[in-house]
């Protein structure tokens, strides 16, 4: 089992001059342990950002606290643990369990509060996916829209010949190495367009335009890669003439009743980062979950899932019985679930059939979530059985 999370206040982490230099969070270290413990709740102090407009009045969240102390399941080392040990040992910053329209469990750790926006990493992609699906559902944008027609700058790149649907389902075929453990991988070079103006001063678009390799023809293979979300965002911006923050506010945040403080981090060119830039509260993610569980054409499209054969061929070892649709992971094994996930422990897990949603915000030492997946699966199963 992992040790309990550190207290960033006791550790002296922060960005102020009163913090010792070796413990000071900077633009260079904020995504690494232990500096991320403070940084993921304070990104506006570290990276340029723009506010995300929400509902004038946040949608109410009913509360019906449940006693989870009796839950028991196997921990990471095989020993039996209880719910509190699970929450404490997984570097939790915030967690909400929403069941049958009410919050049955809510906790904040590591200095976080209900009003604190937290960095969501790739949960951002899934929210951009909801925007895309709403635009497709009402006919504003066609899912067959060619990437190069919307964004001519990508016409000479490997994105030529791809469509919006292929982008948001990640079946576009663009070659890209997203291995975070490999410091020489494409993802680390690409992220310079997010965080390093001296290396990539004009943001994501020129870097996307320089991607010139495919490892499969468009529409024939699934592979998960972060820059595809940024490419899709450029298609949506150009097709609608709107900023990404404006589209998220209009199409998702306001309709879902999300009303807490939220913001998008900006790339080095001053545009919202679609692959990893949204910061929001756990409560607003609970409101988003309620919005999706209420149904409608977008929710039905997402829960229906993507091409399972393409997913199985490209990611069977990653998550069996899954597919990918509209930037959401879909678990087809009962109970069917929609999942939005971000590195360093961010999870939005929705089971419409059980009227259940689990929101986890965290700041783990390692970026990848794959090693902790089995533990979360066991914890969520124990919780689901208990709430029944």
Residue whose structure tokens are 């930037």:
327
What is residue 3's predicted lDDT score, i.e. its pLDDT? Answer: 43
Spatial separation of the C-alpha atoms in residues 97 and 68, rounded to whole Å: 11
Mean pLDDT, all residues of the chain? 94
Residue 60, Cα to own-chain centre: how many angstroms?
23
What's the pTM value of the predicted model, to 2 decimals? 0.95
pLDDT given at position 184:
81
DSSP H helices, 44-152, are 83-89, 123-137, 147-150
HSE (CB half, 13 Å, CA atoms) of 254? 11
Residue with structure tokens 């006693």? 67
Per residue in 272-293, pLDDT tens? 999 999 999 999 999 999 999 9
Over residues 47-62, the mean pLDDT reads: 97
Q: How far, in whole angstroms, is CA 119 from its chain's centroid?
A: 9
Question: 225-245 in b/e burial notation, b at 16+ Cβ within 10 A?
Answer: bbbbbbbbbbbbbbbbebbbb
pLDDT value at 260 more than 80 = yes
Tell whether the model's pLDDT for residue 230 goes beyond 70: yes
Asked if residue 216 lies in contact with residue 169, where contact means CB atoms within 8 angstroms, the answer is: no
Both tokens assigned to 56: 């004038």
Task: State which residues form the domain around 195.
Answer: 8-387
The mean-pLDDT minimum among 152-156, 192-196, 230-234, 312-316 falls in 312-316
Report pLDDT digits (tens) over 84-104: 999 999 999 999 999 999 999
Examine residue 359 and state whether it is found in any structural domain, yes or no.
Answer: yes
- Residue 384 in this model has a pLDDT that exceeds 80: yes
Query: What's the confidence (pLDDT) of residue 16?
Result: 84
Instruction: Tally the residues of the chain.
Output: 388
Percent composition of the chain: helix, strand, coil (DSSP 3-state, to 5): 35, 20, 45
Whether residue 12 has pLDDT greater than 90: no
Alpha-carbon distance of 92 to 37, in angstroms, equals: 10
Q: Is residue 169 part of a domain?
A: yes
- Annotate 229-252 with DSSP letters as a single string: HHHHHHHHHHHHT--HHHHHIIII
Q: Residue 2 domain-assigned?
A: no
| Helix axes 282-293 and 123-137, enclosed angle (nearest 10) | 30
More confident position, 207 or 187 = 207
159-163, 178-182, 334-338, 349-353: the lowest-pLDDT one: 178-182
Sheet holding 92-99, edge to edge: 62-63, 102-108, 92-99, 356-362, 346-351, 337-342, 328-331, 322-325
pLDDT of residue 11: 65
Q: Residue 1 falls within a domain, yes or no?
A: no
Task: Supply the CATH number for residue 359's domain.
Answer: 3.40.710.10
Predicted confidence (pLDDT) at residue 296 exceeds the cutoff of 50? yes
Lowest mean pLDDT among 182-191, 225-234, 273-282: 182-191
Is residue 3 a part of any domain in this protein? no
Helix (H, G, I), strand (E, B) or coil at 340: strand
Residue 76 falls within a domain, yes or no? yes
pLDDT band at 79 (very low <50, low <70, confident <90, very high): very high
Which of 10-19, 189-198, 261-270 shows the highest mean pLDDT? 261-270
Residue 355 belongs to a domain: yes
pLDDT of residue 2: 43
Range 149-175 average pLDDT: 98
pLDDT at 114 over 90: yes
Residue 69 included in any domain: yes
Q: How far apart are CA 306 and CA 309, in angstroms?
A: 9
Q: What is the 3-state secondary structure (H, E, C) of 283-320?
A: HHHHHHHHHHHCCCHHHHHHHHCCCHHHHHHHHCCCCC
| Mean pLDDT, residues 90-119 | 98
The DSSP call for residue 146 is B
Domain count, the chain: 1
pLDDT, position 325: 98
The C-alpha angle 50, 324, 132, rounded to 5 degrees, equals 40
Across the range 161-178, mean pLDDT stands at 96
Residue 271 has phi, psi (to 5 degrees) of -110, 150
């Amino acid at each position: 089992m992992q040790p309990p999370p550190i207290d960033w206040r006791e550790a002296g982490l922060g960005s102020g001059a009163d913090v010792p230099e070796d413990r000071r969070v900077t633009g260079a270290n904020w995504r690494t342990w232990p500096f991320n413990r403070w940084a993921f709740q304070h990104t506006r102090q570290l990276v340029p950002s723009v506010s995300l407009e929400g509902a004038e009045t946040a949608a109410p969240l009913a509360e019906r606290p449940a006693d989870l102390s009796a839950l028991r399941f196997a921990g990471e080392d095989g020993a039996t643990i209880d719910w509190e040990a699970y929450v404490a040992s997984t570097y939790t910053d915030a967690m909400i369990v929403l069941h049958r329209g009410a919050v049955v469990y809510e906790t904040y750790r590591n200095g976080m509060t209900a009003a604190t926006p937290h960095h969501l990493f790739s949960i951002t992609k899934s929210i951009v996916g909801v925007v895309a699906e709403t635009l497709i559902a009402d006919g504003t944008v066609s899912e067959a829209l060619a990437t190069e027609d919307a964004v001519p700058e990508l016409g000479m790149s490997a994105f030529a010949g791809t469509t919006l649907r292929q982008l948001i389902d990640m079946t576009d075929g663009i070659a890209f190495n997203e291995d975070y453990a490999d410091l020489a991988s494409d993802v680390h070079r690409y992220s310079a367009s997010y965080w390093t103006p001296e290396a990539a001063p004009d943001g994501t678009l020129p870097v996307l335009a320089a991607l010139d390799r495919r490892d499969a023809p468009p529409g024939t293979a699934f592979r998960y890669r972060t820059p595809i979300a940024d490419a899709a965002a450029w298609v949506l911006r150009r097709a609608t003439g709107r900023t990404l923050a404006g589209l998220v506010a209009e199409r998702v945040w306001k309709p879902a009743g999300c009303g807490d403080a939220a913001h998008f981090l900006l790339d080095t060119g001053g545009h919202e980062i679609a692959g990893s830039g949204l910061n929001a509260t756990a409560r607003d993610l609970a409101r988003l979950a309620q919005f999706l569980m209420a149904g409608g054409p977008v929710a039905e499209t997402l829960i229906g899932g993507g091409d399972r054969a393409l997913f199985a061929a490209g990611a069977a070892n990653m998550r069996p019985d899954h597919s990918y649709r509209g930037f959401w992971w879909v678990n087809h094994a009962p109970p069917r679930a929609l999942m939005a996930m971000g590195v360093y422990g961010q999870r939005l897990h929705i089971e419409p059939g059980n009227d259940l949603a689990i929101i986890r915000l965290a700041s783990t030492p390692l970026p990848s979530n794959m090693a902790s997946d089995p533990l979360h699966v066991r914890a969520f199963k124990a919780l689901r059985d208990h709430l029944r």
